[in-house]
Copies of this chain bind each other. A is one copy, B any other.
Amino acid sequence: MKKAIFYHAGCAVCVEAEQQVLHALDSNRYEVESVHLAQNTQAIDQAEQAGVRSVPALLLDDVVFHINFGASLEEVKGACHG
């Protein structure tokens, strides 16, 4: 089973990408996990190390795909810590 991790921050652009792209993935081949970075701030470092620069982003086999643009990771950090 391959792993698909979807990083988002609950924004409208994120929700649209989750509903369309994430739900279009083949669940027979991909174990899908959705991580809300604004609610799980401890996952922000992990996302950053994986190469995530903005949300929404999809990590497939350790390769990052930024899907449209909702917010930068810096903005997510600011919203969480500020």
Chain A contacts to B: CB under 8 angstroms: 2, 4, 16-17, 20-21, 24-30, 58, 60-61, 63, 65-69
What is the distance, in angstroms, from A53's C-beta to the closest C-beta of chain B? Answer: 10
Q: How far is the CA of A60 from the CA of B23 in the complex (A)?
A: 11
Interface of A is mostly: strand
Q: How many copies does the complex hold?
A: 2
- Contact (A65, B68) CB under 8 Å given A25-B25, A26-B24: yes
What are the residues of chain B within 8 A of A17 when measuring CB–CB?
Answer: 65
Selected from B20, B29, B65, the residue in CB contact (under 8 A) with A63 is B20
24 chain-A/chain-B pairs, Cβ below 8 angstroms: A2-B24, A4-B24, A16-B63, A17-B65, A20-B60, A20-B61, A20-B63, A20-B65, A21-B21, A21-B58, A21-B60, A21-B65, A24-B25, A24-B29, A24-B30, A25-B26, A26-B26, A26-B27, A26-B28, A65-B67, A65-B68, A66-B67, A66-B68, A66-B69
